Chains A and B, each alone.
Chain A
């Protein structure tokens, strides 16, 4: 580009520029320092609210692991996060920004709750299988809606999937206060608790969702890495035109992938209603669908790293809950602490891919052209 054009464009004082890929060594250094910076910044906050940070962090780690029951609780928190992060990964790999995991979890929950409420007398194995399939269908269809509109009318998937979250949430509200309201709850709007037959079995004292989650880690990894469909996803994600030139049915791939993405989130919903809550309530997704985005992103869409990061998140959440009651501090403090830690890590993550370039004083000094 000529100098003349460059002069016309006013260069901002600071601009964001993509970095060349950092070497693995530097990356690891960056993430390690991110972790420690997060701990330090969080510590300053704790100090400011009058809590000894060393004790608090000790309590967080202890709280997540102090007993068999605590570990089980941590795993229970991890299950929906792990599964929905894996679900999101499929869509993100295709650069389809599905931020509707929350709604897909809910729809999976709603679909499987139908069978738990009205067909609780079916043989246990049959009922569980049907509930799982219902969860898959519910979440999958909910994700297909924005995918179909995107391929047909080019709608913005970010907004579309986001909006569908609220529709799903209000659908629960409607069912809770309307057709599925527990008649024995003397007016309190709630859906009846599932009968024992409609509850997910426990394996090692935690509902089977953890096993489903681990199997999905392997399945998603294998699907993306070794199957033709997984290859198609990454090609569509890199460039839709390339995919088209290669004769791929891009629309079909988008709809199919979103179905799978939503279906996996739907499984998370099924596990929550039948394994953790034993009923369908407004808190069934509880923000997990949004946290899952961060997990998938931080893990660079690698299923195994998702497992590790999910574990980290769950430990933090469970530990913070214990810290809150131990020190008698407000729940807001532990939420803020989690927010700070996350924010610092995300900031470091951002700077691993981008850098800020401060405007050079000398005219025409900028190396990069536009």
Chain B
């Protein structure tokens, strides 16, 4: 019997070695065919998702809608898109394995959609100079094959703040934030939302609860419940799932979603959401990489580019919301209104932006670590 086992083990190792060499030759053949025929049909794009687009709402879904838009626009087949779903960005080994699998599949361009993938992507960009890496929502880049993309979602948040400010009766607006004040993306977005609230309702306060996680349905729900217990009757959110909107709906109050139009998820509660049209960026970048003229610069698109927007107002909105939002939106698009324009005061009484000045992009992406004056941290 021992012999049989040994034989099996040897056989196993043998087949492993065989397939190694067999695949090795296949790969080199493949490379030959690409070099002789640089058809677009060989071009593969990898996408690393933190969640599952099949959730039908929220962060990964929204990014994937952008990928689908890009795919249709550029006429790519399903085989040309390699999606790795549910890749935890708190697990560096899993992140690396997922990205390497895309490289293994022959992807020449890889989009990583979550903050935590950044360092791993940076390293892999150095290891694989022929593959283009585009990382969302971070700040690092190397100028040759690794860039960062993000957008002025704070513009959309300002508008949703208007809807929230007009809707609240208790003058307490809640906000479920993924990260604390040290994270400029979250904090700047929250400040913009709070400014929107204040612009139509100077008496209202914005109460914040931090989950310390981008994606955690349970924590998001708990944070939402805590804010509702405080008496908040509109919940804004910077987190990935619909949990805060559903919590608001359960209590018969309202909320402003994020990432995708959450009216379909919480029809009785949802007002309007700050949404991304990632397809704008994905199409532009994929096309450029395919044509070989990608500049690899960091991208920071806004409402004028069509990258960010708000979802259509639901019937739950207060009267006059549409008019108020349309007016400001037109000014944002034509550039006559800047969200982060002085004078801005934080909730400690400091002036963080002087009268007549506008925060520059470096500050907006990396330097907003203060809460606007009507924000209360819980």
Contacts and interface: CB of A to CB of B under 8 A. Distances in A.
Interface of A: 24, 28, 65-71, 73, 76-77, 176-177, 186-190, 193, 272, 276-279, 281-284, 286, 304-305, 307-308, 311, 321-322, 324-326, 328, 330-332
A67 B103 CA distance: 11
Interface of B: 1, 4-5, 8-9, 12, 16, 19-20, 23-24, 26-27, 52, 54, 78, 82-86, 88, 90-94, 96-98, 100-101, 103-105, 115-116, 119, 123, 139, 179-184, 186, 212, 366
Nearest to A186: B183
Contact of A66 (B94, B100, B104): B104
B23 A65 contact: yes
B119 A330 contact: no
Given A69-B103, A277-B96, A193 B182 contact: no
Nearest to B122: A193
Contact of A331 (B1, B85, B96, B105): B85
Q: Which of A282, A324, A328 has the most CB of B within 10 A?
A: A328
Contacts of A67: 23-24, 26-27, 104
B93 A283 contact: yes
Nearest to A23: B1
Nearest to B79: A326
Given A73-B97, A188-B179, A330-B52, A324 B20 contact: no
A188 B92 contact: no
Contacts of A66: 23, 26-27, 104
A331 B52 contact: yes
A325 B101 contact: yes
B101 A189 contact: no
Q: Which of A283, A286, A305 has the most CB of B within 10 A?
A: A283
Contacts of B104: 66-67, 69-70, 73
Contacts of A189: 90, 212
B115 A188 contact: yes
Contacts of B82: 325-326
Contact of A65 (B19, B78, B212): B19
A332 B52 CA distance: 10
A95 B147 CA distance: 54
9 contacts: A67-B104, A188-B179, A188-B183, A277-B92, A282-B90, A283-B88, A286-B91, A308-B8, A325-B101
B93 A284 contact: yes
B123 A186 contact: no
A42 to B, nearest CB: 20
Contacts of B12: 308, 311
A279 B92 contact: yes
Nearest 10 A/B pairs, CB to CB = A283-B91, A187-B182, A187-B183, A277-B93, A65-B19, A277-B92, A24-B1, A276-B93, A331-B86, A69-B104
B31 to A, nearest CB: 11
A330 B49 CA distance: 12
A308 B6 CA distance: 10
Contacts of A77: 97
Contacts of B139: 186
B20 A188 contact: no
Nearest to A275: B93
Contacts of B92: 193, 277-279, 281, 283
B91 A281 contact: yes
A276 B116 contact: no
A272 B92 CA distance: 10
Contacts of A188: 115-116, 179, 183
Nearest to A76: B97
Contacts of A308: 8-9, 12
Contacts of B52: 330-332
Contacts of A330: 52, 54, 85
A258 B180 CA distance: 42
Nearest to A192: B119
Nearest to A61: B19
B66 to A, nearest CB: 16
B105 A304 contact: no
Contact of A68 (B24, B86, B96, B366): B24
B20 A65 contact: yes
B113 to A, nearest CB: 14
B100 A328 contact: no
Nearest to B85: A331
